[in-house]
Structure 1
Amino acid sequence: MHEMSLCESILQTLEQQAPIQQYRKVKAVWLEIGALAGVEIEALRFSFDLVVRGSLAEGAGLEIVTVPGMAWCLPCGRTVEVQQFYDECPFCGSHQLQVTDGHQMRIKELEVE
């Protein structure tokens, strides 16, 4: 389950930033996750609760902001929404799409004290 390692990386980032940003407790974390990021949201939620036990983020809420997959179609020049990699352009049927958004995961916001 790679969601567990993602949560460990999130916690590591939170712990590294605590002294720099001067916080001692994380109350909520907002993650921005692209539809093409390959992250199973429910597994991430489960893993997050396990990973943060005993840490500065124990009991923190986890909010997920989903970003749709977007791609640029080379033949027709349009920006289109895609559900998965290798989708076809809904306008011209081409598979020559360059993904432009929706493949990332990042910490968007924190509530700290």
Structure 2
Amino acid sequence: MHEMSLCESLLTAMEEAAQTNGFAKVRRVRLEIGRFAGVEVQALRFGFDVVMRGSLAEGAELVVIDRPGTAWCFDCDETVEIAERHAPCPRCGGARMQANGGTEMTIKDLEVE
């Protein structure tokens, strides 16, 4: 389950931020996760609770913000939101699409003390 390693990386990033910015406790973490990032949110939530035990983020609330997938349509020359990787263009119905967004996982912000 790669979600556990994602949580370990998240903890490392929070520990580095705490050292740099001088906070001792994380109360809330808001993550933006792209629809095509390949992250199982339920598994991420489970891993988050396990990995954060005994850390500066123990008991922190995890807020997941779903980011849409996007693709470039060669037919109408536009970037559009898509629900699935191989979906047709919602504007023109064209099938010649190049996915170009929705694979990211980013820390949006932290609520700390």
- Partner residue in 2 for 1:83: 83
- Partner residue in 2 for 1:10: 10
- The runs of 5 or more residues in structure 2 that have no matched partner are none
Question: 1:76 Cα deviation (Å)?
Answer: 1.7
Question: 1:81 Cα deviation (Å)?
Answer: 1.8
Give me the CA root mean square deviation.
Answer: 1.2
The SS at the match of 1:64 is strand
Question: Normalised by the size of structure 2, how large is the TM-score?
Answer: 0.91
Q: 1:1-113 alignment to 2 at 5 Å?
A: 1-90=1-90, 91-94=92-95, 96-113=96-113
- The runs of 5 or more residues in structure 1 that have no matched partner are none
Question: Normalised by the size of structure 1, how large is the TM-score?
Answer: 0.91
Question: 1:79 Cα deviation (Å)?
Answer: 2.2
Paired residues, number = 112
Question: 1:37 Cα deviation (Å)?
Answer: 0.6
Question: 1:41 Cα deviation (Å)?
Answer: 0.6
Q: Which amino acid aligns with 1:85?
A: R
